[in-house]
Amino acid sequence: MNDLKQLPSVERLLQSESGKDWVRRFGRPLTLEAIRSVLDAVRQNYREKSFLPAGDELSGLVEAQLSNWLSPTLLAVINASGVILHTNLGRAPLSTAALQAIQATSRGYCTLEYDLETGKRGTRLIHAEKLLTHLTGAQGALVVNNNAAAVLLVLSGLARRKRVVIARSQLVEIGGGFRIPDVLKQSGAQLLEVGTTNRVHLSDYEEAIKQGAAVVLRAHHSNFKIIGFTQEPTLAELCKLAEKYGVIVIDDLGSGALIDTAQYGLAHEPTVQESLAAGASLVCFSGDKLLGGPQAGIIVGRADLIGKLKKHPLARAIRSDKLCLAALTATLMHYIKDEAQIQIPVWRSIAMTLEEIQERAERWCDFLRTGQVIASNSTVGGGSLPEETLPTYVFALKVKSPQWFVAQLRKLSPPVIARLEDDQVLFDPRTVFPEQDEMLLSGLKSLGVCDSSDVA
């Protein structure tokens, strides 16, 4: 083609077989928009480079435009990276019971804010509260949209125009640009930093309280570790001091485990129960980190403070929805029934035995008749237990071009996210669900990973 006049009209493209197909799949308005935008681009290109695509290329361009606009971007993937709480991969996978609870309450109507006893308006705040107070020993509990929102609410509700003392070593930034000093500022609280990067003493806090600090804030380091010449008072020491002066202590635990990670050979991640027992006035933590539930921010602690927060205008703006509450209550029930390690995927991954992992890695290796099984490490991730690893076995592939190969893995359906280490591509069974094994193996087979040592 060498003349603009030969370009089909919008109407002709719309009436073509492909056009009818697009209208059926994407609706007429968007199809029109795609055709127009492709024709515009083609005309522009002709003016600049005197080049026109052939007729059938044209429909390919429209098709590409439509799928570029509409192909889904939120997709299920197979996580073979060995990072259990992978923030970029949606953190905690939900338990079967949590998924069923979402289905059961959200397919139709539910008692989100309805009291069946009286037939009157109820409150969404009750659904998880009893479970949370039973599990943690707290007087009250409040669930909001995520932990960043929980911290913002606590500080806005209790520390506005007040001085908040925090150790310099705890002025952390966690993923997604959440910075403790910025949240403090946003809440209207005044930051009083004490100590140095590596050391802070109880006397530093006492000095700050004497200077008028009304709130002591402690934030979990989450994603980094300070080692060497370090010092921080314990939470119990801080709480005792705070009690003496009548100020409150807020503990942002970040991940907030309900069960002890140390039983799996990991470092001890502070539990919510411990923080409350040490005397924290309020403890905040995430729903989708080590708790293993849906995205949520959970605040537990003193009844009077929780009551105050429930009435704060911000609480309405960051309230949790029915899907979250359904999944969260089902997740909490696993802890009540002492079956978290069996039913909650995050804990199942943590509790998986080395033998079980090795056996699966070897099965993959046998099936594909290539690669090898080697010892490696999984990580917990998700802003908990920094630098801590769990011993694992991985299926390791040596390929000619590892970067290219992992890019091919990402193009599979479902995409496979593997780990690159020392120019080998590693697949960790710890984060791959057994029911995904078949999909993983057929995906690898489709890339030519089978019975040969020189893939790609």
Ligand X SMILES: *Cc1c(COP(=O)(O)O)cnc(C)c1O
Closest distance between ligand X and the C-beta of residue 87, in Å? 8
> Which residue, 59 or 146, has its beta carbon nearer to ligand X?
146
Query: Rounded CA gap, 107 and 126, in Å?
Result: 21
Q: To 5 degrees, how large is the angle CA 69–CA 70–CA 76?
A: 125
Find tokens 């308005």 and name the residue: 29
Closest distance between ligand X and the C-beta of residue 256, in Å? 9
> Which residue, 84 or 219, has its beta carbon nearer to ligand X?
219
Which residue from 435, 339, 432 is spatially nearest to 86, judged by alpha carbons?
432
Interacting residues of 423 by C-beta distance below 8 A, sequence separation 6+: 398, 402
Among 38, 148, 152, 455, binds ligand X (CB under 6 A): 148
What's the start-to-end Cα distance of the chain, in Å?
A: 39
Q: To 5 degrees, how large is the angle CA 319–CA 381–CA 172?
A: 65
146 is a site residue for ligand X (CB under 6 A)? yes
Output Rg (C-alpha) for the chain, integer angstroms: 27
| CA 201 vs CA 8, 195, 235, 315: distances in Å | 77, 7, 12, 34
381 is a site residue for ligand X (CB under 6 A)? no
147 is a site residue for ligand X (CB under 6 A)? yes
**Pair type for strands 419-421 and 83-85:** unpaired
Among 65, 222, 392, 436, binds ligand X (CB under 6 A): 222
Among 219, 242, 299, 361, binds ligand X (CB under 6 A): 219
CB 256 within 8 A of CB 298: yes
> Which residue, 90 or 345, has its beta carbon nearer to ligand X?
90
Query: Rounded CA gap, 23 and 318, in Å?
Result: 39
174 is a site residue for ligand X (CB under 6 A)? yes
Closest distance between ligand X and the C-beta of residue 324, in Å? 12
> Which residue, 296 or 361, has its beta carbon nearer to ligand X?
296
Closest distance between ligand X and the C-beta of residue 232, in Å? 14
Among 218, 220, 348, 419, binds ligand X (CB under 6 A): 220
Is cis: bond before 313, omega within 30 of 0?
no
Site for ligand X in 340-359 (CB under 6 A): none
Give the count of beta carbons closer than 10 Å to the beta carbon of residue 29. 9
Number of residues that bind ligand X (CB under 6 A): 15
> Which residue, 324 or 409, has its beta carbon nearer to ligand X?
324
Residue 102 CA, distance from chain mean position? 18
> Which residue, 291 or 365, has its beta carbon nearer to ligand X?
291
DSSP 8-state secondary structure symbol assigned to residue 289: S
320 is a site residue for ligand X (CB under 6 A)? no
Closest distance between ligand X and the C-beta of residue 57, in Å? 46
Among 270, 297, 429, 443, binds ligand X (CB under 6 A): 297
Stretch that binds ligand X, among 161-169, 216-224, 323-331, 360-368 (CB under 6 A): 216-224
- What does the binding site for ligand X look like in residue numbers (CB under 6 A)? 146-148, 151, 174, 178, 219-220, 222, 252, 254-255, 286, 297, 383
